[in-house]
Amino acid sequence: MSAPAVTTDPGAALELLAGRRLVVLTGAGLSTDSGIPDYRGPGSRPRNPMTYSEFVSGTPAQRRYWARSHVGWARMRRADPNPGHRALAALGAAGVVDGLITQNVDGLHGAAGSRGVIDLHGRIDEVVCLDCRRVTPREDLQARLTALNPGFTEAHSAEVETAPDGDAAVEITDGFRVAPCASCAGVLKPHVVFFGENVPRERVDRCYALVASLAPEDSALLVAGSSLTVMSGLRFVRAAHRAGVPVVIVNRGATRGDDLADVRVDAGCSQTLEALAARPV
């Protein structure tokens, strides 16, 4: 495969995308301008997110997760959509974006006004019970955890960094009290896909259908802010490439999908997407 054209000038991408209908795949790099760090961008520190098997291994792992997430969520829920999110919402309203798939769990696309977003990895603002499967708002759990652990967030929030999944690097979690499901007293888990956990098949099928709706002559797949390191998102880029659909990647740094792209713009998502939204439809 030939290497893509790599440029720091958004103009190359804008020229290729002009007049085309888009399906957009976004990753953590899109939300960095909202103050949410990414996993693998330049300057990012190494992260070791909790795996699904570790989470379900028992109470110690669940206590550690919820203690760290309790602090992280107190920050993450204050994040606002940035110009990149708003640009995609505007492109959707203008009929340019036919579908939006996000690997992010922060809910900022919806907050910016995008409709019909496929949250590939779920939503951090929801909680699911692993026993009765009831889904409830994260805010409800946050209030319960605050009541059970008064002062915990205040004692730790100034010293730690928050990850894209709302995890915070709290080192001492002993004594943190975890809240069970209010309906059945079962184990609560954030309604997101952990590493080692499968994305629901129905969700994957919807994403494939979006990509299959693209036509090489008048459509394109735009990837914004993803290194495509995990197969979860890369598979859709591969599907578009196999179908002959142009692929444009906007990301700071190389990605696993570079050899599948027509153009990669090594620049910030906000500036590139704003420039795209400013062009006449």
Annotated binding site, which residues? 27-47, 103-106, 129, 132, 181, 184, 225-227, 251-253, 269
The amino acid occupying position 98 is D
Q: What is the dihedral of CA 144, 63, 136, 151, to 10 degrees?
A: 30
For the question of residue 85 being annotated catalytic, the response is: no
Nearest-5° Cα angle at 215, 209 to 219: 100
Question: Tell me, what DSSP letter sits at residue 70?
Answer: H
Nearest to 159 by CA among 71, 77, 80, 79: 71
Name every residue whose Cβ is closer than 8 Å to that of residue 143 and which is 6 or more positions away in sequence. none
Nearest-5° Cα angle at 214, 210 to 219: 130
Enclosing H/E stretch for 242 = helix 231-242
Q: Are 82 and 111 in contact (CB under 8 A)?
A: no
Sheet hosting strand 122-129, strand order edge to edge:
135-137, 122-129, 188-192
Among candidate residues 70, 109, 121, 156, the one labeled active-site is 121
Which residues carry a binding-site annotation for Zn(2+)?
A: 129, 132, 181, 184
d(CA 74, CA 225): 24
Task: Give the SS3 label for residue 200.
Answer: coil
Q: Which residues are catalytic?
A: 121
